[in-house]
Structure 1
Amino acid sequence: MKNWAFVSDFDGTISKKDFYHLVLEKYFEEGQALYKQWKSGEIKDIDFLRQVFTSIHQEERQIIEDIHSLEIDEHVPSFIRKVQAQGGDFYILSAGTDYYIHHILGQYGIRGVEVYSNEGYYKDKNVHLNIDPEHPHHSERYGIDKSKVLTDLKKEYETIYFAGDSEPDSHPAKVANVTFAMKALQDILKENNTPHIEVDSFSDIEQHLICIGVLR
């Protein structure tokens, strides 16, 4: 069994803005009604994302340019390298799609990071999702069941550290050994009495891991 791994959500945790927000603002203003339906629980997360990602109607060059415009926590690339250099593995676990995550990783020269997410691909001026209902990590609501992924990873590592920022992250937070909570996830975990450490950034996370001797 390996020693430890760090697993992070992507949208709103590594990136400062969710990719779907960028699409809504730039290409799909009428999607605000759809957003309200999703937030009220009328439609599933994965159906909301499917509709948003197929409402872009741009050449792939433009979509990649938009992806590259997403700001990320500037501390993330050095944090990942530090984790890898000091014996940890780094994973990204996202209920969005690996399509834009891989473009961001390439943009910042981040290597050796495995991505667990909904498979996405460019076709006919939009981003489409390839969801396999038979996949062992499948979730009807999110496309990918984050807690199932973490449960599998726990079989390989003695300790799993997890970072997230929103409702889908509340499920794997119950499985991780240590959860770092940002933004809305903090209140959700408080309500659920799920143990967590409140942070605002990866710089905060790094300081905590240094304090407990995981990083130096």
Structure 2
Amino acid sequence: MKKWAFVSDFDGTISKEDFYWLVIKKYFEEGHDLFKKWKAEELLDIEFLQTVFSSIHQEEVKIIEDIVSLQIDEAVPQFIRDVQRSGGDFYILSAGTDYYIQHILSHYGIENVDVISNKGYFHDNNIHLTLNENAPTYSKRYGIDKAKVIQQMKKEYETIYFFGDSEPDSHPAVYADVTFAKAALIAILKEKEVPFVPVNDFNEVREYLRLQNIF
């Protein structure tokens, strides 16, 4: 069994803004109303994202330009190297799509990171998702069931650290050994009485791990 892994959400945790908001603000004005319907639970998360990502209508070179303009937590590239140098594996676990995450990793020269997410591809000037309903980690609501992914990983690692920021992250937080929470996830986990470490960014996570002699 491997010693430990650090698993992070992407949108709003690694990135400072959800990619779907970038798309809505630049290309999909109707997305504001769609967002309200989603929050009112009239749409599943995956339905919301599929609609937004298929409403870009731009050449791929422009979409990639937009993706790499997405600001990330400045500490992330070094944090990932610190995890790997300290004997851990770093994973990104996202209910978005690997399409934009891989472009971000490439842009920052980040290597040896497994991305567990909904498969995405460029076609007809938009981003489309391929969902595998037969996958053991499939979720009808999110496309990918983050809790099941963490449960599977616990068979492989002695310790799982997890970091997230929003409602989908409350489900894997139940199974991680240590959960770091920021933004909306803090109140959600308090209400659910799930243990967590409140943080604002990756620098605070690094400090926690340093004090635990992990780094």
SS of equivalent residue, structure 1 residue 24: helix
Equivalent in the alignment of 1:154:
154
Shift of the alpha carbon at 1:31?
1.3
SS of equivalent residue, structure 2 residue 163: strand
Q: How many residues were matched structurally?
A: 215
Shift of the alpha carbon at 1:30?
1.1
Q: Deviation string for 1:172-215 (max 9, x for gaps)?
A: 00010000001000000000000000000000000000001111
In 2, Cα distance between equivalents of 1:41 and 1:181: 23
SS of equivalent residue, structure 1 residue 29: coil
Equivalent in the alignment of 1:109:
109
4+ residue runs of structure 1 moved beyond 2 angstroms? none
Structure 1: state its 5+ residue gaps.
none
Q: Does 1:23 align with 2:41?
A: no
TM-score, normalising length from structure 1?
0.99
SS of equivalent residue, structure 1 residue 171: helix
| 1:17 counterpart letter in structure 2 | E
Taking the TM superposition and a 5 Å limit, the aligned residue runs for 1:67-146 are: 67-146=67-146
Q: Deviation string for 1:25-80 (max 9, x for gaps)?
A: 00001111110000011110000000000000000000000001000000000000
Equivalent in the alignment of 1:174:
174
In 2, Cα distance between equivalents of 1:116 and 1:178: 19
Q: Does 1:2 align with 2:31?
A: no
In 1, Cα distance between equivalents of 2:46 and 2:131: 9
TM-score, normalising length from structure 2?
1.00
| 1:16 counterpart letter in structure 2 | K
State the identity %.
63
SS of equivalent residue, structure 1 residue 122: strand
In 2, Cα distance between equivalents of 1:182 and 1:166: 8
Q: Does 1:214 align with 2:214?
A: yes
CA RMSD, Structure 1 to Structure 2 (Å):
0.4
Q: Deviation string for 1:146-168 (max 9, x for gaps)?
A: 00100011000000000000000
Equivalent in the alignment of 1:185:
185
| 1:25 counterpart letter in structure 2 | K
In 1, Cα distance between equivalents of 2:24 and 2:194: 32
SS of equivalent residue, structure 2 residue 30: helix
| 1:206 counterpart letter in structure 2 | R
SS of equivalent residue, structure 2 residue 209: helix
| 1:156 counterpart letter in structure 2 | E
In 1, Cα distance between equivalents of 2:75 and 2:173: 22
SS of equivalent residue, structure 1 residue 148: helix
Structure 2: state its 5+ residue gaps.
none
Shift of the alpha carbon at 1:2?
0.6
In 2, Cα distance between equivalents of 1:114 and 1:75: 19
